[in-house]
Structure 1
Amino acid sequence: MDPMLFHLEWDVLAEVLFTIIALSFFVERALSLVFEHRAYLLFAKDLGLKEPIALAVSVLVVQYCDFDALAILLRRETSDFFGFLITGAVVAGGSKASIKLFHDLIKAKSSTYDKVKQLEAEGMSSRAAVNAATGRKPPED
């Protein structure tokens, strides 16, 4: 086996990493429209769907762009679904990190999201907090 087979080209690695970071920000900002929407906060917030949705979208994005980080770094001639899946998972993980960056460090989040978090911290249930934050009256029994 050739010892140079897995030699990394550092300039290519840097380009791949910066592309992953850029795609992570794009995916995060696009998905913020869904994850910070009143309907998602009301009905799906506690179902644990953020990560699977982010993974699915990320895999679709990298496959659409034909961006297989493993194939690029290991100088493979073809891309395959496994490479897209791994690359998509890294992009999705990066989008989760960029969500944290946007919310915690840069303070970029919707006002509804802020209100819901504040009301939940005060002990209000998720459904009641979303209704209060969006100005909707809860359904009467």
Structure 2
Amino acid sequence: MAIEVVFFDIGDTLISKKRWLPGALDCVRAIKEKKIRVGLISNTGNLTRDDLQRLLPEDFDFAIFEEGLTLLSSEVGIEKPNLGIFSLAVQHAGVSPWQTMFVGESLTESLAAQQAGMQAARITDPEADFKALRKSL
């Protein structure tokens, strides 16, 4: 069965230094166009969404991501790579773990997502990796 939900990390996966990484926003939009649900799993310390919004690019909009699939560590009280945040994401998605994917730059976090039963994709070369991800889904 195909991937039904893709969760992205924010920092150094979608965004770096208040800018979208090359291909990131286009990838998110393309995945949504394929009717795949899109969410976030991100470590945010003790920052609120308003605090985060000031640190993110002006065109970053949390509304791009499905509200119930936005898991910020400051809101859920669990940080990656704790398996609990990935399990919670799967629970919120309401599908089997293997129908979900976590996309991030960290090997440790990608392995943790896989331990939770999710598929994982690592972003190490944003432009090429986002292009490959778009084609694979």
Q: Same fold (TM over 0.5)?
A: no
TM-score range, shorter chain: under 0.3
Relative to its length, the structure with more strand (as a share) is 2
Q: Report the TM-score when normalising by structure 2.
A: 0.28
Q: Report the TM-score when normalising by structure 1.
A: 0.27
Q: Which structure's CA Rg is the greater one?
A: 1
Relative to its length, the structure with more helix (as a share) is 1
